[in-house]
Structure 1
Amino acid sequence: MTTTAARRGRGILLTSGLAIVLAVVVVPFYWLVVAATHSSQEIFSSPPPLIPGGHLPDNLATLQETADFGRVLVNSLLIAVLYTVCAGAVCTLAGYGFATYRFRGSNGLFGLIMLGLVIPVQVTLVPLFRMMADLHWLDTYQAVIAPNLALPFGIFLMRQSMSALPQELLDSGRMDGCGELKLFWKVALPPMKPALAALAIFLFLYQWNDFIWPLIVLRDSSSFTVPVALASLQGLDDTDYGAILAGTAIAAVPMALVFLALQRHFVSGLLAGAVKE
């Protein structure tokens, strides 16, 4: 009887904790959607609005008029998709190389790449900007995409995942006359779908949310990404928070769709290679 009561108590505590966590996660998103349908005056009223209002069309019209938000969304989608594909290819190939080949200095080289995880981004901004200026790449997509293609976390994730591949499987493919690229594409890559899904989610969100680097290299408002365009709506004297929150709510949709499309692979992809037999 005591055991049953203790089990029931733990269940109640666990359910209460999950309810609190759910509220902490959901309530800000709910208020974001509600605030996107109100004017700035209504957003800062007391008490704040808790049900949708009728200003969403006005906020969207202001957003399009002041920031050309339709074009901005296309810019961000193109940059994020191109970055995800290109950086995914670079990180996967690098991870495969570090996991399957042993050469002198490989561990040192991998450790050098991992140092990129602890170097502050701000340290690299000036040299990267000078490099983009020398290449005449300022205000172009490649200036936003190229500098972070070899992302240290992506290489680490794929290296750990590729390390779980049986070496005998790769050796048998080589004995059958399989070239290295074909071996990578036909043998090593198919089992890595969960890890690739996790990598794709991370890369897409990383690029979609990036603010400081696009702000530095993109000068023309027609080439702005979503974070830069939303930041440009904040004025010194007057800021239309209704329009900004409407844009923020719209910007959250692609991230949610990407995560929902790949979420069933996400946890297994992050755990791939964590345990070796």
Structure 2
Amino acid sequence: MKLSLSVRIAEAACKTRLNIPFAELAQMAADLGYAALCMRASVVGVQSSDAELQQVKSIVDAAGLGISMITADMNIPQNNDQSPQALQDFEPTLHVAEMLGSPLVRVCLKQESDIPHAQRACDLAAERGVQLVHQFHPACLFEELERSIEVLKQIDRPNFGVIYEPASLLMCGQPYGESVMRQILPWLKNVYVQNLVITEDGPDHLETWCLGDRPFQLLPYWDESGRGINFREVLAGLNAVDYDGCFTIHQAEGIVTADDARNYAARCKEWVESLNS
């Protein structure tokens, strides 16, 4: 597996900008030994000029990094009602993917009528060697495992897959161990990881379609209390199915200084390495 760092760790709460300069974040990831960055529209996206896209690509290239995936539309991380609209006019998203050299593009589907748009977007993307991926996530068609697999079969495109994300599965009361990975293996394209615990007095809340409001608390990845995600089980499952894609540190941290970003990303890398020891 290749270790990827999401720019989300340093995003502002609005999810539309970073708290630290992108060039510093990219160089820091390279210095620490990350293989790739997971890019979001808070850096560049469909709203960006070609000059801005070229500048970001040059920063990534100079750092010797790859790009594991892009989320090119700001609506998609917001998971709002506008998030599926990017599928209806997919050329701008594909342009961002081509300019940045990303093999994967994250998309969002929220209702049955989004499926034909996803199929057409896949057909456009296939001409350029780009794959579409959808994260397991509350309040969308990829909330519950069984329904997600049904949608994957309905879309029926070789370049449409899923982002395995155990915390979202946990949020929606779904299993997330090796048996799940085996069920989604034909479509498994990427891995995001976050850590959280569902708790009645959680400071944060997320609305799900299947279980209603879910109060939760984010935990450090390296939390050993046993309350959150069992990451040793996650890694064992990924190894058991011979997953060789990216493993992306994707937890929102609201980091505001480059030093804090470096310290956090370094500890995350040490934690991943400890899981494989």
Q: TM-score range by the shorter chain?
A: under 0.3
1 or 2 for the larger relative contact order (CA 8 Å, sep ≥6)? 1
More strand by share: 2
Q: Per residue, is there more helix in 1 or in 2?
A: 1
* TM-score, normalization by structure 2: 0.22
- Structure whose alpha-carbon radius of gyration is higher: 1
